[in-house]
Amino acid sequence: ALTHIGPTALILSRQGLPTLTETNVSFEDGLSKGAYIVKKEKIKPDYTLFATGSELTLALEVAKELEKAHQKDVRVVSFPCFEIFEKQSKEYKDKIIKGDLGTRVAIEAGSEMGWYKYIGLNGIAITVNRFGMSAPANKIKEEFGFSVNAIIKKLV
């Protein structure tokens, strides 16, 4: 919104979210590029988790559990904007999404549309492709599989 010329939407969450120290990167190094690495793998990732918005916290929790309980190496990528990411240099895009990144997983409480370009046909999209559910947030998250345990079950 600060440097983009064209329509911009700021979509904010109603729920209280923690401040993530992992996302403490400058605007130029992170958000302005449309996607950036929040958590690097130690050697070679078994999983790369792509998340956006409030699901970034969940992705980091899943990564922590995969590493601790299952001895997996995990990369987490914050991916707030496909369009801005696509405008980056090939070198930058390759740094974020190219190579053997293990199983690629998109986590977004929204449509899976657009994610398969980045996770591939063998990737896993943990998304919501239907509307009309009304309940407390925690119940909806559980129903759609947006919990650490539900995601871990899909991955291991």
Q: Tell me the average pLDDT across 79-95.
A: 95
Residue 129's alpha-carbon distances to 86, 112, 144, in angstroms, are 24, 7, 10
3 phi-psi bin (left φ>0, alpha ψ -120 to 50, beta other)? alpha
Closest CA to 44 of 93, 7, 99: 99
Q: Tell me the average pLDDT across 116-132.
A: 89
Better pLDDT: 105 or 17: 105
Q: What is the pLDDT of residues 5-60, one digit of tens each?
A: 777 777 666 666 666 666 666 666 778 899 999 999 999 999 999 999 889 999 99
Round the CA-based radius of gyration of the chain to a whole number and report it: 15
> Residue 20: what pLDDT?
66
Neighbouring residues of 150: CB distance < 8 A, sequence distance ≥ 6: 142
Domain annotation for the chain: domains and CATH numbers:
42-155 (3.40.50.920)
Q: Tell me the average pLDDT across 71-86.
A: 95
Q: Tell me the average pLDDT across 57-66.
A: 96
